[in-house]
Amino acid sequence: MDQAALLLINFNATSLYDKIILNLKKHFNLNSKTIIPEIDLSKYYSEERDQYYSTKLIEYALSNFSSFKKILMITDFDLYVPVLTFVFGEAQLNGKAAIVSAHRLYPEFYGLPPNEDLFLARLIKEINHELGHTYGLRHCLNFECVMHSSSNVDEIDIKGEAFCKKCLEKISPYL
Protein backbone atom coordinates (compact mmCIF):
# COMPACT_ATOMS: atom_id res chain seq x y z
CA MET A 1 0.00 0.00 0.00
CA ASP A 2 1.37 3.43 -0.96
CA GLN A 3 1.98 6.07 1.67
CA ALA A 4 0.53 9.56 1.81
CA ALA A 5 1.74 12.46 3.89
CA LEU A 6 -1.18 13.98 5.77
CA LEU A 7 0.01 17.49 6.63
CA LEU A 8 -2.11 19.21 9.24
CA ILE A 9 -1.55 22.96 9.14
CA ASN A 10 -3.47 24.68 11.91
CA PHE A 11 -6.22 22.04 11.66
CA ASN A 12 -7.89 21.71 15.04
CA ALA A 13 -10.50 18.98 14.53
CA THR A 14 -8.29 16.38 16.19
CA SER A 15 -11.23 14.05 16.87
CA LEU A 16 -11.57 13.51 13.10
CA TYR A 17 -8.00 12.44 12.29
CA ASP A 18 -8.79 8.71 12.43
CA LYS A 19 -11.82 9.11 10.17
CA ILE A 20 -9.77 11.03 7.62
CA ILE A 21 -7.09 8.32 7.65
CA LEU A 22 -9.74 5.60 7.18
CA ASN A 23 -11.17 7.53 4.24
CA LEU A 24 -7.76 7.64 2.55
CA LYS A 25 -7.49 3.87 2.90
CA LYS A 26 -11.05 3.23 1.75
CA HIS A 27 -11.11 5.42 -1.36
CA PHE A 28 -7.43 5.59 -2.36
CA ASN A 29 -5.75 2.55 -0.80
CA LEU A 30 -3.30 4.89 0.95
CA ASN A 31 -1.64 4.51 4.33
CA SER A 32 -1.12 7.89 5.94
CA LYS A 33 1.64 9.40 7.97
CA THR A 34 0.29 12.34 9.93
CA ILE A 35 2.70 15.26 10.10
CA ILE A 36 2.32 18.63 11.75
CA PRO A 37 4.98 20.59 9.87
CA GLU A 38 6.92 23.48 11.30
CA ILE A 39 6.22 26.14 8.72
CA ASP A 40 6.54 29.91 8.55
CA LEU A 41 3.06 30.73 7.29
CA SER A 42 3.77 34.44 6.84
CA LYS A 43 5.21 33.67 3.38
CA TYR A 44 1.83 32.40 2.20
CA TYR A 45 -0.43 34.96 3.85
CA SER A 46 -2.09 37.91 2.12
CA GLU A 47 -2.90 40.68 4.59
CA GLU A 48 -5.07 42.37 1.98
CA ARG A 49 -7.26 39.28 1.61
CA ASP A 50 -6.79 37.76 5.10
CA GLN A 51 -6.26 34.42 3.35
CA TYR A 52 -3.47 32.00 2.47
CA TYR A 53 -2.29 31.31 -1.08
CA SER A 54 -3.02 27.65 -1.74
CA THR A 55 -0.72 27.26 -4.76
CA LYS A 56 2.29 28.42 -2.76
CA LEU A 57 1.43 26.01 0.07
CA ILE A 58 1.35 23.17 -2.46
CA GLU A 59 4.81 24.25 -3.65
CA TYR A 60 6.01 24.14 -0.03
CA ALA A 61 4.66 20.61 0.40
CA LEU A 62 6.31 19.40 -2.79
CA SER A 63 9.65 20.90 -1.75
CA ASN A 64 9.60 19.26 1.66
CA PHE A 65 7.64 16.00 1.36
CA SER A 66 8.27 14.78 -2.19
CA SER A 67 9.21 11.26 -1.07
CA PHE A 68 5.54 10.43 -0.46
CA LYS A 69 3.26 9.01 -3.18
CA LYS A 70 0.61 11.65 -2.34
CA ILE A 71 0.63 14.72 -0.13
CA LEU A 72 -2.61 15.98 1.40
CA MET A 73 -2.65 19.18 3.41
CA ILE A 74 -5.64 20.10 5.55
CA THR A 75 -5.95 23.50 7.19
CA ASP A 76 -8.49 25.61 9.02
CA PHE A 77 -7.15 28.67 7.20
CA ASP A 78 -9.16 30.31 4.43
CA LEU A 79 -7.44 29.73 1.07
CA TYR A 80 -7.34 31.63 -2.21
CA VAL A 81 -5.91 31.72 -5.68
CA PRO A 82 -5.61 35.18 -7.24
CA VAL A 83 -8.48 34.79 -9.72
CA LEU A 84 -11.05 33.57 -7.16
CA THR A 85 -12.51 34.97 -3.95
CA PHE A 86 -11.72 31.70 -2.14
CA VAL A 87 -11.14 28.01 -2.79
CA PHE A 88 -12.26 24.97 -0.82
CA GLY A 89 -9.11 23.29 -2.06
CA GLU A 90 -6.59 22.98 -4.82
CA ALA A 91 -4.65 20.10 -6.35
CA GLN A 92 -2.08 19.32 -8.98
CA LEU A 93 -3.78 17.61 -11.90
CA ASN A 94 -1.93 14.30 -12.38
CA GLY A 95 0.40 15.34 -9.58
CA LYS A 96 0.99 14.35 -6.01
CA ALA A 97 -0.10 17.29 -3.85
CA ALA A 98 -3.45 18.68 -2.76
CA ILE A 99 -4.70 21.06 -0.09
CA VAL A 100 -8.15 21.37 1.47
CA SER A 101 -9.42 24.26 3.57
CA ALA A 102 -11.88 23.36 6.30
CA HIS A 103 -12.54 27.05 6.96
CA ARG A 104 -15.77 27.37 4.95
CA LEU A 105 -16.90 23.78 5.58
CA TYR A 106 -17.84 24.40 9.22
CA PRO A 107 -21.57 25.12 9.62
CA GLU A 108 -20.59 27.85 12.10
CA PHE A 109 -19.05 29.84 9.22
CA TYR A 110 -22.62 30.36 7.97
CA GLY A 111 -24.06 31.23 11.39
CA LEU A 112 -25.40 27.73 12.03
CA PRO A 113 -24.83 25.59 15.12
CA PRO A 114 -21.89 23.17 15.13
CA ASN A 115 -22.60 19.85 13.41
CA GLU A 116 -19.62 17.50 13.39
CA ASP A 117 -21.30 14.95 11.09
CA LEU A 118 -22.10 17.58 8.46
CA PHE A 119 -18.62 19.07 8.74
CA LEU A 120 -16.97 15.65 8.38
CA ALA A 121 -19.10 14.78 5.35
CA ARG A 122 -18.10 18.05 3.65
CA LEU A 123 -14.45 17.59 4.53
CA ILE A 124 -14.32 14.01 3.22
CA LYS A 125 -15.97 15.08 -0.04
CA GLU A 126 -13.45 17.87 -0.57
CA ILE A 127 -10.52 15.60 0.32
CA ASN A 128 -11.72 12.98 -2.17
CA HIS A 129 -12.38 15.64 -4.81
CA GLU A 130 -8.92 17.20 -4.57
CA LEU A 131 -7.12 13.85 -4.40
CA GLY A 132 -9.16 12.76 -7.43
CA HIS A 133 -7.50 15.59 -9.35
CA THR A 134 -4.06 14.26 -8.36
CA TYR A 135 -5.04 10.99 -10.07
CA GLY A 136 -5.89 12.88 -13.26
CA LEU A 137 -9.64 13.29 -12.83
CA ARG A 138 -11.25 16.49 -14.07
CA HIS A 139 -14.62 17.86 -13.01
CA CYS A 140 -17.53 15.51 -13.66
CA LEU A 141 -21.00 16.47 -14.89
CA ASN A 142 -22.67 13.87 -12.64
CA PHE A 143 -24.14 15.86 -9.70
CA GLU A 144 -23.75 12.87 -7.36
CA CYS A 145 -20.07 12.26 -8.17
CA VAL A 146 -17.49 13.62 -5.75
CA MET A 147 -15.67 15.08 -8.77
CA HIS A 148 -18.57 17.41 -9.56
CA SER A 149 -17.37 20.99 -9.16
CA SER A 150 -18.61 22.88 -6.09
CA SER A 151 -18.64 26.64 -5.78
CA ASN A 152 -20.57 26.68 -2.48
CA VAL A 153 -21.33 24.33 0.42
CA ASP A 154 -24.83 23.58 -0.84
CA GLU A 155 -23.26 21.97 -3.91
CA ILE A 156 -20.88 20.01 -1.67
CA ASP A 157 -23.83 18.80 0.40
CA ILE A 158 -25.67 17.52 -2.71
CA LYS A 159 -22.89 15.32 -4.06
CA GLY A 160 -21.70 12.02 -2.64
CA GLU A 161 -18.30 11.16 -1.19
CA ALA A 162 -17.57 8.50 -3.81
CA PHE A 163 -16.60 8.54 -7.47
CA CYS A 164 -19.23 7.79 -10.09
CA LYS A 165 -18.74 4.65 -12.17
CA LYS A 166 -17.10 6.56 -15.03
CA CYS A 167 -14.59 8.37 -12.78
CA LEU A 168 -13.85 5.22 -10.77
CA GLU A 169 -13.02 3.36 -13.98
CA LYS A 170 -10.50 6.09 -14.86
CA ILE A 171 -8.62 5.96 -11.56
CA SER A 172 -8.96 2.26 -10.66
CA PRO A 173 -5.68 1.30 -12.35
CA TYR A 174 -3.81 3.69 -10.03
CA LEU A 175 -5.36 2.57 -6.76
Tens-place pLDDT, residues 106-119: 999 999 999 999 99
Residue 145, pLDDT above cutoff 80? yes
Residue 140, pLDDT above cutoff 70? yes
130 carries an active-site annotation: yes
Sheet strand arrangement including 70-75: 30-35, 2-9, 70-75, 97-101, 89-91
| Residue % of the chain over a pLDDT of 90 | 90
Q: Which of 70, 149, 76 is nearest to 109 (CA)?
A: 76
Catalytic residue among 38, 130, 155, 161: 130
pTM above 0.85, yes or no: yes
Q: Which domains, ranges and CATH numbers included, belong to the chain? A: 2-138 (3.40.390.10)
- Mean pLDDT of all residues in the chain? 95
| pLDDT value at residue 23 | 94
